[in-house]
Amino acid sequence: MKTFIVGIGGMTNGGKTTLTRRLQPLLPSCSVIAQDDFFKPESEVAVDQNGFKQYDVLDALDMEAMMRRVYSWLKTPRGFQTSILDNAKVSLCNNQDGADDVHSLIIEGFLLYNYKPLEEVFNRRYFLTIPYEECKRRRSTRIYEPPDPPGYFDGHVWPMYLQNRSEMQKIAQNIVYLDGTTAEEDILSQVYDDIKRELEKLKGSEISA
């Protein structure tokens, strides 16, 4: 049995969840872990001098809990309960565990490549980007819990994105950047074609082993 772990990273509202939902049914025995499920409770999130809750930093997330989830998948990919789609459970059940079997995992989130312990688990890393104006427009249509207060995008979300991205570029290697303004189908086929090539290499390495 082989494992294949895909990172779907990107800026807020870049289209990570949309791409993940479409990609999951196409990948072999695919489970999903979403970083947004690991935000700390509101009372534990720091507040800056402007009263803005500091949600767009690693400290706002319980990354140790997220890593436990990743290690639990690595230990027993077959028994893992997925967080997004039911059909992944079906494909897990149908799977006979042979030597060629590949179990895949999508880890989806806005701060994946800034966190050292995660870095080594990815087989392939993607990062969705959109321009400032589009990001601000898409974000304004969304309601988070707690909702963004007035001025939050320019006062917290965007400056933290710029900071996180510059740190990420110093640390992380081999990131495939995706233009999140192109059609959903085009992004999906670009990523799926790329992953198919990677999966072929993985299977080839098994046969020659």
- Residue with CB nearest ligand ATP? 15
* Residue 14 interacting entry, from ligand NNR, ligand ATP, none, C-beta within 5 to 8 Å by type: ligand ATP
Decide if residue 12 touches ligand NNR (CB under 6 A).
yes
User: Which residue lies nearer to ligand ATP by CB, 101 or 179?
Assistant: 179
Cβ 100 to ligand NNR, closest distance in Å? 36
Q: How distant, in Å, are the alpha carbons of 14, 50, 140, 165, 193 from that of 134?
A: 9, 25, 10, 17, 27
Residues that are catalytic: 36
DSSP assignment of 116-184 = HHHHTT-SEEEEEE--HHHHHHHHHT---SSPPPTTHIIIIIHHHHHHHHHHHHHH---EEEEETTS-H
What residues from 43 to 102 belong to the interface with ligand NNR (CB under 6 A)? 55-56
Number of residues that bind ligand ATP (CB under 6 A): 15
Q: With binding defined as CB under 6 A, does residue 36 bind ligand NNR?
A: yes
Tell whether the torsion through CA atoms of 22, 188, 26 and 14 is positive or negative.
negative
The footprint of ligand NNR on this chain (CB under 6 A) covers a number of residues equal to 10
Output the smallest distance, CB 183 to ligand NNR, in A: 22
Say whether residue 138 binds ligand ATP (CB under 6 A): yes
Write out the two tokens for 46: 């720091």
